[in-house]
Structure 1
Amino acid sequence: MKKRVLSVIALLLSLAMFVVGCSSGSKSEESAEKAESAGDKSGAITVAYKAAPPNLDSDQSTDWTVTAVMNHVYEGLYEFNASSEAVPHLAKSCDIENDGKTYVFHLREGVLFHDGSEMKAEDVKASFDRWFAVNEMGISVSEYVDSVDVVDDYTVSVKLNSVYAPFLNVIASPTSNQKMVVRPASLIEKYGNDVLEEHIGTGPYKFDSWVPDASVKLVKFDDYVPVEGEASGFAGKRVAYANEINIQFVTDESVRISGLETGEFMFAEEISQDKYSQVESSENTVPQIMDSDVEGMLTFNCGAAPFDDLNARKAVAIGLDLEELATAQIGDENFWSLDGCLFDKSTVWYDEKAGEGVYAKNDLELAKEYLAKSDYNGEPVVIVQGKDDNVESQGAEDLRSQLEKIGFNVEVELYDRATVMEKRSQKEGWAIHLAYFSVWNADPQVWSAWVGTNGWITNWDDENSKKMDEIFAKMLVELDQDARYKLVQDWYNTFWEYVPYVKTIDYSRMNATNAKLQGYANYCQPFFWNTWVEE
């Protein structure tokens, strides 16, 4: 049981490290009002992504671009709203029975695929079966599954062999290579477990064409049947205003920016922060900063001196000036903020009291007291970082200065990425690594791979790490949201009590839009339903 739990969580961890973060809110009400008052909204939308996908099969690739493109074509039984809640989408409801081991999905009637056929239970079963067979997340979840059964045309039952509380969150997850999307059984029968070369979904846009390494063209699905309800994140009503969405893959940032300025592109992905003033000052372009996109983590090697000693870890946690560190790493205050919670304030998992009394305390004298109580004897504290990453290298130098003020003897070692990964994987030879995690996670359970016993690179294995394991074991089987939230609060408190990491800062990446693009929701991954070009 423990082995298979760890396999699922490890997969969640590996995928979450590559997904872009979510914005903290929804612009749905404002967008809806603008849409009602706008004129013709049917013009084409051309956008520029920074990299091309290897294929367009979201079950066969962890590349985020695949998901960002095909979210327009495929939909899930459940989708995440802006508060990180999984809510019904292609399903109208789900009954959880048999003490949490049976999920009965009731499907919306009249939902059409792009080939004109109606979505029914056989399609959902086939989609689940393929997901369990070829999707990396689905393969791991399949260990918990006994069967997927068609009850009638609009009812599907998924029977588990044990309780798995994150189930709805996982099948709704916008993280690359996680969401279970619904495809026609006929399409799945044709391709089986091979990479799909045709794409038939239920979404507001149909797949039209793909030129590898160059572009994807999507066209409006005139017979789309939207779910009712206000748009929020990926959930709620989706409207295809534009007749076409043309997605160009443009690796050169300067070309993405110039195309945005001239109006060739309505959206440009990932613009560097030093271009903020250029984008913000132009009347033709609008910066889209993704709130709390990434969170910085100071990672301790808890398996070796000096940070196998809790007092030494607390000395660092309490003594750091995080504003100084943020300024050294990021600079512009538009792109960073401080918050002790491990989930964004927009989510149902947020706790404003997380880290209280420890996070951003910046008490140098108290830090020195903790260090004096520890067994630290002056051995070098080795910080291992990437030499080609300014955020890492500049952070390491500032951290050296701050730790020396507390009383540590510090050495900074900068390497290429491969060497950094090799060094930090060892049980000795390093003490601290500044890491960066995506804020966006499908479920708090993901964190058990990071902060439990021997989580990620921490080498943390003592009676306190076992306490963390116990919390996650309870979280895995707790279905009640209120009770689960209390367990999450226990996890936050335990995290800050034993500090296997120190969360440092929240910081953000930037996309940009042309000023003519209206209705754009600055959410996890870019999408262009509910958007239009205002001439």
Structure 2
Amino acid sequence: MLKPWFILMLAVIVIAGCAKESSEAAPSEAKQITVASSTDSGINRLDAASYEGMMQAYPLIYDSLVEYGEKGEIQPALAESWDISPDGKEYTFHLRKDVQFSDGTPFNAEAVKFSVDRWANKPEHDWLLTSKNLKSVEVIDEFTVKLTFTKHYYMTLAELSYPRPFRIMSPTSVEPAGDPEGKFVKAIGTAAWVQAEYIQDVQTVFTPNSTYWGDKSGIDKLTFKVVPDSQSRVLAAQNGTIDIAGGEVSKIPLESLSLLKNGEKTKLATQKGTASYFLVVNDANKAIADKKVRQAINYAVDKQSIARDLFDGTGSPATGILPTTNAYVSEDNNKGYSYNPGMAKQLLNEAGWKDANGDGTVEKEGENLVFSLVLQTEEYPEWKPLAEAVQDQLSKVGIQVELKVLEQASYYDALWKNKDYDLLIYRTYADAFNPLSFLMALFYKTNEAPAVAFGTEQLSSLIDRAAATLTDEERFKAYNDIFQLMNEEAMSVPLFYPDDLFVVNNRISDVQLGATTFRPIVWEKLRLDEQR
């Protein structure tokens, strides 16, 4: 394992080297765009049926049967068209005939079956009902494949667009070749890019796939350079050694936006987002298990001041758990809690938490009300000032908060494995994952497993009902009931709805932001000014 100081030194050397090379390069080499990444791409373990590696790397290599477009419109991709049986249990996909994998392997129904067999009915994908409910996959002919499910599920097409685990990989990506249980050896797909170079924790270089069936890229190299430190990303954007930073790939510190918005070499590209930042509450904590305490926390947080003072117009204050840019989320079912510290104090008092000694902290049975608040800053540097604002606001109603900044891996362990927190800043999923997949992943409990975040049998029943709906009218009613219950029970603390935001070098034109966080920019449509 490379030491962090060595990785940083190597990254600086590589960045400086690339800057020197670009000034001396031949014209064809000038058509290179460098993207800052907060983490390694993990291209050497980018099995399409896994969750390894950077989410945004998957669509560069692997296509899906269908794509998720603007406002949830499902668009053709490797499947030109599809038929759905009246009962919603059978999906027949008619595949493109002009496609091959980047290594020359034919793309056909057998290749699709190989990929499906690789993810179907695996326990790690049970939160995705497309996997859990798959009954069979059948090759009808060379370019027709049918998926049959045990029950109707309205999110099937949306889930098939996900970056993982449903994308289509070549049978030659594993050993033995074509074995659905084979060992992954290399990322081979049909999408617009192929791996050209990989230095772990330093950079991954992609070049255009010469066999790609879609529009060809206008650039020769797309490099994802690992720059873990957010301030280093700002400096690299200012001096032009990186061309793009932002989104879920590499967050930019909010305090630097004014410098980059109309910089000598930089500009911003933004659009309304579909994700939100919120507090996960751990109901294993005895105090948090009390609904009045959870409601008090919601009333104590001033979302308007957070949006105004911290985020400088790059998003909006949160109300409910998801913004209305998502399907089935509306103003009516997304009201949330207003800022009311007086009501917060009253609820704490009713729950038995009182400031008996006048020290500013409420107590009960001789114990102060103190919560840990877990966060990470490698991917989300803005979470530190956000956590500090929450800490300050909760202190004003008598709740003390101790901030715990963890390394990225430990942070995710705290959320997904050991539940070692009282409060934890997290972000909802976005676009194609909302609302259902996000709710299933975080708030759904079964007899075998508790919810990752907060869950009740009633909520799980409502989520099941939403999944089984056949019409939009039924779906709206189901989600109205879900969001109303989540709000009444204060199952989370919504904080902020961030915009999708990227810092882009001025030499890049035609920046088209994507419809999803896993394809945040339509990379193959990027152009350099000299290419006009």
TM range (shorter): 0.7 to 0.9
Equivalent of 1:162, from 145, 151, 154? 151
- List runs of 5+ in structure 2 lacking aligned partners: 1-26, 355-362
Return the TM-score normalized by structure 1.
0.74
Mapped contact 1:383–1:411 kept (Cα < 8 A):
yes
What amino acid maps onto 2:169 in structure 1? R
Aligned CA distance change for structure 1 residues 197 and 369 (closer, same or farther; 3 Å): closer
Whether 1:531 and 2:526 are equivalent positions in the alignment is: yes
Whether 1:126 and 2:117 are equivalent positions in the alignment is: no
Whether 1:518 and 2:509 are equivalent positions in the alignment is: yes
What amino acid maps onto 2:443 in structure 1? V
Q: CA deviation at 1:518?
A: 1.7
What amino acid maps onto 2:125 in structure 1? M
Question: Which residue does the alignment assign to 2:191?
Answer: 203
- List runs of 5+ in structure 1 lacking aligned partners: 1-39, 227-237
CA distance in structure 1 between the partners assigned to 2:382 and 2:236 by the alignment: 28
SS of aligned partner of 1:92 = strand
- Can you list the C-alpha shifts for 1:351-379, whole angstroms capped at 9, x where unaligned? 123332x43x2234444554555455642
Q: CA deviation at 1:384?
A: 0.6
CA distance in structure 2 between the partners assigned to 1:82 and 1:152 by the alignment: 32
Aligned CA distance change for structure 1 residues 72 and 301 (closer, same or farther; 3 Å): closer
Mapped contact 1:272–1:510 kept (Cα < 8 A):
no
Mapped contact 1:396–1:412 kept (Cα < 8 A):
no
Q: CA deviation at 1:295?
A: 2.6
SS of aligned partner of 1:529 = helix
What amino acid maps onto 2:162 in structure 1? S
Mapped contact 2:102–2:188 kept (Cα < 8 A):
yes
Whether 1:436 and 2:417 are equivalent positions in the alignment is: no
What amino acid maps onto 2:167 in structure 1? V
Equivalent of 1:317, from 298, 313, 324? 298
Mapped contact 1:320–1:362 kept (Cα < 8 A):
yes
Question: Which residue does the alignment assign to 1:245?
Answer: 222
Question: Which residue does the alignment assign to 2:332?
Answer: 353
Aligned CA distance change for structure 1 residues 363 and 219 (closer, same or farther; 3 Å): closer
CA distance in structure 1 between the partners assigned to 2:322 and 2:118 by the alignment: 31
CA distance in structure 2 between the partners assigned to 1:531 and 1:116 by the alignment: 26
SS of aligned partner of 1:127 = helix
Whether 1:99 and 2:87 are equivalent positions in the alignment is: yes
Mapped contact 1:46–1:264 kept (Cα < 8 A):
no
Mapped contact 1:45–1:266 kept (Cα < 8 A):
no
CA RMSD in angstroms comes to 4.0
Equivalent of 1:48, from 28, 35, 39? 35
Mapped contact 2:61–2:194 kept (Cα < 8 A):
yes
SS of aligned partner of 1:334 = coil
CA distance in structure 2 between the partners assigned to 1:116 and 1:428 by the alignment: 46
Mapped contact 1:76–1:179 kept (Cα < 8 A):
no
Question: Which residue does the alignment assign to 1:484?
Answer: 475
CA distance in structure 2 between the partners assigned to 1:272 and 1:121 by the alignment: 46
CA distance in structure 2 between the partners assigned to 1:439 and 1:74 by the alignment: 21
Aligned CA distance change for structure 1 residues 499 and 134 (closer, same or farther; 3 Å): closer
Whether 1:275 and 2:256 are equivalent positions in the alignment is: yes
CA distance in structure 1 between the partners assigned to 2:52 and 2:313 by the alignment: 28
CA distance in structure 1 between the partners assigned to 2:230 and 2:470 by the alignment: 45
What amino acid maps onto 1:245 in structure 2? L
Mapped contact 2:113–2:145 kept (Cα < 8 A):
yes
Aligned CA distance change for structure 1 residues 293 and 334 (closer, same or farther; 3 Å): farther
Return the TM-score normalized by structure 2.
0.74
Mapped contact 2:310–2:386 kept (Cα < 8 A):
no
Equivalent of 1:450, from 427, 442, 448? 442
What amino acid maps onto 1:533 in structure 2? L
Question: Which residue does the alignment assign to 2:102?
Answer: 114
Equivalent of 1:363, from 332, 335, 340? 340
Mapped contact 1:305–1:376 kept (Cα < 8 A):
no
Mapped contact 1:204–1:529 kept (Cα < 8 A):
yes
What amino acid maps onto 1:180 in structure 2? F
Aligned CA distance change for structure 1 residues 470 and 132 (closer, same or farther; 3 Å): closer
Question: Which residue does the alignment assign to 1:497?
Answer: 488
What amino acid maps onto 2:85 in structure 1? E
Equivalent of 2:169, from 183, 187, 200? 183
Structure with more relative contact order (C-alpha pairs < 8 Å, separation 6 or more): 1
Whether 1:71 and 2:59 are equivalent positions in the alignment is: yes
Aligned CA distance change for structure 1 residues 403 and 225 (closer, same or farther; 3 Å): closer
What amino acid maps onto 2:324 in structure 1? K
CA distance in structure 1 between the partners assigned to 2:204 and 2:375 by the alignment: 36
Aligned CA distance change for structure 1 residues 393 and 106 (closer, same or farther; 3 Å): closer
CA distance in structure 2 between the partners assigned to 1:155 and 1:186 by the alignment: 21
Aligned CA distance change for structure 1 residues 106 and 254 (closer, same or farther; 3 Å): same
Q: CA deviation at 1:521?
A: 2.8
- Can you list the C-alpha shifts for 1:479-503, whole angstroms capped at 9, x where unaligned? 4344223312221122112212221
Count of residues paired in the alignment: 469
